[in-house]
């Protein structure tokens, strides 16, 4: 990655030095010895999963508070257990941006979640920088550095790594190490660090990355349109596909595409003649066809006592929809007052559930409850009003 900035000449000078590729036991031992002494580390990964079920970890980048940047090569015969121990060390905070995918890949590779962790994307939302802000945008907004993302689709499994790829990879932690202290200190000064604890705890929970086959059907787009029997059939088919894809280490869609799974659940073909009429079925091999038909017939012949369910969206009358509109306005005012993104507080679907009478909702709990939940309850109870004033809206 190349960085260009007229206002950060010292940073530009640093970029002349490529981060080293750590690919020997001696180099790793020296790096780990340094990492163990640090209070926090900026961490990122490069991985591929276009041709596999499991992500292939191709590079691990780290940066320290002292400005050191290094890239560790996991593709050779290097024993990475010393690095895994550092990433699991509870005395060292691991800093990521948009941590979920990196944490999932590192959990798969090392068997443990890097913790404690800090996610600058989540922190940025509480600093008024918008919800799910991208790394390049955050670096530009806070550091005035424009990052070149032209290598974002590179094949990181290829060796040797070209210098521009090493520079790109290094930049993903180099600037992260600059961003973290400022974001942390800003949120600490505003007494908002505690707000992050719940989200960070979720990211550090291995169960967050669990992928039970019985739940795979919920990720198939369009499953809400199916009836009970259709959901039961989709559940059986998606569970089989999940297990088969994991066993073969191939992408799910290479076995059966989502669209075909959904159509089978809708049409429920019991024989090859009917299956062959479905769009996309001609791409299936004979073994997959037989397996799908066997699953269809077994599931339809022996339906479970209760088909899987989906959470129904509340059906509100006009007055209820108007109440949701008002609650969204209350939430927007609270977000603006606090300088955070509305998406970090709540969403319309959640407020529809609140109007429908549900109370076990994130917007009513923790820091969100303090910031906006109390006001939402107060508006619903008629204790405060949303009024127009000077061409805008306010609470009274």
Q: Is the peptide bond before 165 cis (omega within 30 degrees of 0)?
A: no
CATH 3.30.420.10: which residues of the chain?
Answer: 3-209
**Which residues are catalytically annotated?**
44, 46, 102, 168, 172
Report the percent of the chain where pLDDT is more than 70.
96
Q: For 242-290, how does the pLDDT look when each residue is reduced to its tens digit (9 = 90+)?
A: 999 999 999 999 999 999 999 999 999 999 999 999 999 999 999 999 9
Task: Determine the topology of domain 213-301 in CATH.
Answer: DNA polymerase; domain 1 (1.10.150)
Is the pLDDT at 179 greater than 80, yes or no?
A: yes
Sign of CA dihedral 54, 56, 61, 62: positive
Model confidence at 8: pLDDT above 70: no
One of 3.40.50.620, 3.30.565.10, 3.30.420.10, 2.40.170.20 is the CATH number of 3-209, namely 3.30.420.10
Give the pLDDT confidence score for residue 249 in this predicted structure.
97
Cβ contacts of 242 within 8 Å, gap of 6 or more: 211, 213, 216, 252
Note the Cα 355 to chain centre separation in Å. Answer: 28
Those residues whose C-beta lies under 8 Å from the C-beta of residue 33, and which sit 6 or more positions away, are none
Q: What is the arithmetic mean of pLDDT over 330-350?
A: 92
What is the rounded average pLDDT for all residues in the chain? 92
Residues of the chain with CATH 1.10.150.80: 213-301, 318-395
pLDDT, one tens digit per residue, over 282-318 is 999 999 999 999 999 999 998 787 788 887 778 899 9
Phi, psi of 127 (to 5 degrees): -110, 10
Hey, what CATH topology would domain 318-395 get? DNA polymerase; domain 1 (1.10.150)
pLDDT band for position 12 (cuts 50, 70, 90)? very low
Average pLDDT over residues 228-246: 96
The H-assigned helical ranges of the chain are 9-14, 25-35, 81-87, 99-110, 120-125, 135-143, 163-189, 197-203, 228-248, 252-255, 258-267, 272-275, 286-301, 318-338, 348-355, 366-368, 374-380
pTM metric for this prediction: 0.88
Q: How far apart are the first and last CA of the chain?
A: 51
CA angle 163, 48, 209 (to 5 degrees): 130
Task: Report the pLDDT value the prediction gives residue 341, as an integer from 0 to 100.
Answer: 85
């Amino acid at each position: 990655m190349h960085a260009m900035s007229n206002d950060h000449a010292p940073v530009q000078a640093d970029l002349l030095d490529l981060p080293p590729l750590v690919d020997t036991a001696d180099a790793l031992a020296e790096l780990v010895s340094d990492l163990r002494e640090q209070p926090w580390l900026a961490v990122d990964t490069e991985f591929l999963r276009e041709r596999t079920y499991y992500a292939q970890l191709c590079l691990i980048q780290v940066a320290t508070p002292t400005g050191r940047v290094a890239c560790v090569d996991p593709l050779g015969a290097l024993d990475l257990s010393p690095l895994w121990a550092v990433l699991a060390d509870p005395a060292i905070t691991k800093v990521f941006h948009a941590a979920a995918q990196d944490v999932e890949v590192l959990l798969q590779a090392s068997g443990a979640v890097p913790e404690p962790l800090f996610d600058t994307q989540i922190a940025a939302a509480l600093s008024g920088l918008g919800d799910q802000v991208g790394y390049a945008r955050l670096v530009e907004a806070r550091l005035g550095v424009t990052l070149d993302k032209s290598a974002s689709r590179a094949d990181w499994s290829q060796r040797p790594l070209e210098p521009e790829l090493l520079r790109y990879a290094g930049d993903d932690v180099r600037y992260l190490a600059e961003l973290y202290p400022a974001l942390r200190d800003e949120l600490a000064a505003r007494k908002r660090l505690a707000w992050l604890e719940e989200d960070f705890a979720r990211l550090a929970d291995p169960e967050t990355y669990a992928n039970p086959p019985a739940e795979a059907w919920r990720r198939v787009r369009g499953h809400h349109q199916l009836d009970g029997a259709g959901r039961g059939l989709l559940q059986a088919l998606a569970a089989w596909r999940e297990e088969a894809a994991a066993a073969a280490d191939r992408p799910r869609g290479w076995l059966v595409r989502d669209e075909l799974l959904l159509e089978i659940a809708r049409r429920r073909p019991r024989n090859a003649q009917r299956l062959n009429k479905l769009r996309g079925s001609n791409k299936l091999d004979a073994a997959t066809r037989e397996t799908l038909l066997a699953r269809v017939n077994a599931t339809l012949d022996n339906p479970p006592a209760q088909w899987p369910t989906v959470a129904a969206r509340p059906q509100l009358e006009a007055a209820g929809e108007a109440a949701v509109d008002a609650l969204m306005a209350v939430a927007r005012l609270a977000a603006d007052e606090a300088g955070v993104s509305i998406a970090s507080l709540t969403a319309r679907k959640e407020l529809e559930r609140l109007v429908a009478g549900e109370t076990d909702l994130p917007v009513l709990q923790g820091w969100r409850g303090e910031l906006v939940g109390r006001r939402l309850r107060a508006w619903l109870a008629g204790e405060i009003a949303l009024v127009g004033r000077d061409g805008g809206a306010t609470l009274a």
